[in-house]
Amino acid sequence: MDSETRQSQILEVARTRGRVEVVPLADELGVATETIRRDLRVLADRRLVKRVHGGAIPLESAVFESSLDYRSRVDLAQKHRIASAAADLLQSAETVFIDEGFSPRLVAEKLADHEVTVVTASLLAAEALADSEKVNVLLLGGRMRGRTLATVGAWTLDLLGGLVIDLAYLGTNAISLEHGLTTPDPAVAAIKHAAVERSRRSILIAAHSKFGIDSFCRFAEVADFETIVTGTELPREDAERYQALGPSILRV
């Protein structure tokens, strides 16, 4: 097997499983561990994967976006901690925007006992609040994206553009000091940007694996957020670099 074919196979495995480990992958492909490490370095240089201890995880781009099933399996314990801490920042907000994605859905679950109006384009967030007797849910209409079960497009933007929201909970595919917050799909970026624009306060919820990488479409600057909630897995030195740009960084 030539190196290009092997690297394509490694990338496909990473995207299917959510992570690859050097030693098991070397055994699976019948090559030396150093060969796998070299392949991962090449893929990392092409910004297709991010190296982590013992292996690598896939990065999202304009042509690849991870599924909800993948997101629900990666960094799960950390995402639950982040969602709980983010929900505690509700304060006196009466109207709340909840973004698409798995982590924002977890925030929605935490808000089920609060008397708030939730605006969302996410069917998953709306479903999480369906049985709540306290939450008033406003689901934004539009074209539904099957990969994330959320609406996008002109209808969604028109509805969102007529609102004034107290607090927005946003997720992201990537965040970096240089390019801010980015996501693979321009239509999704437009909804996220509008939510930030229409909200008095914005809180970012992001696992440590989202930091230091870039995707395709920028939708906000780091300074647009009041608080960024992440896990203690993000090194303190890295957190301080993002905090220097304006938001408080809450590591939980």
Label residue 63 exposed, middle or buried (CB < 10 Å: 0-12, 13-18, 19+): exposed
Quick one: pLDDT at residue 159?
Answer: 97
CATH code of the domain in which 24 resides: 1.10.10.10
Rounded alpha-carbon distances, angstroms, from residue 188 to 60, 125, 171 = 14, 16, 11
Q: Report how many domains make up the chain.
A: 2
Buried b / exposed e across 97-112, counting CB within 10 Å, b at 16+? bbbbbbbbbbbbbbbb
Q: Is residue 138 part of a domain?
A: yes
**Domain extent at residue 11:** 3-59
Quick one: pLDDT at residue 71?
Answer: 60
Q: Is residue 64 part of a domain?
A: no
Are both 19 and 116 inside the same structural domain? Answer: no
Place of tokens 């647009």: 224
Quick one: pLDDT at residue 73?
Answer: 60
Q: What global pTM score does this model have?
A: 0.82
Quick one: pLDDT at residue 96?
Answer: 98
Are both 151 and 213 inside the same structural domain? Answer: yes
Quick one: pLDDT at residue 67?
Answer: 59
Residues of the chain short of pLDDT 50, as ranges, are none
Quick one: pLDDT at residue 61?
Answer: 59
The predicted-structure confidence for 133-170, as pLDDT tens digits, reads as follows 999 999 999 999 988 999 999 999 999 999 999 999 99
Q: Is residue 151 part of a domain?
A: yes
Quick one: pLDDT at residue 233?
Answer: 92
Quick one: pLDDT at residue 200?
Answer: 98
Report whether 89 contacts 110 (CB < 8 A): no
Quick one: pLDDT at residue 119?
Answer: 98
CA distance 217 to 101: 17
Quick one: pLDDT at residue 174?
Answer: 92
Are both 144 and 242 inside the same structural domain? Answer: yes
Are both 44 and 126 inside the same structural domain? Answer: no
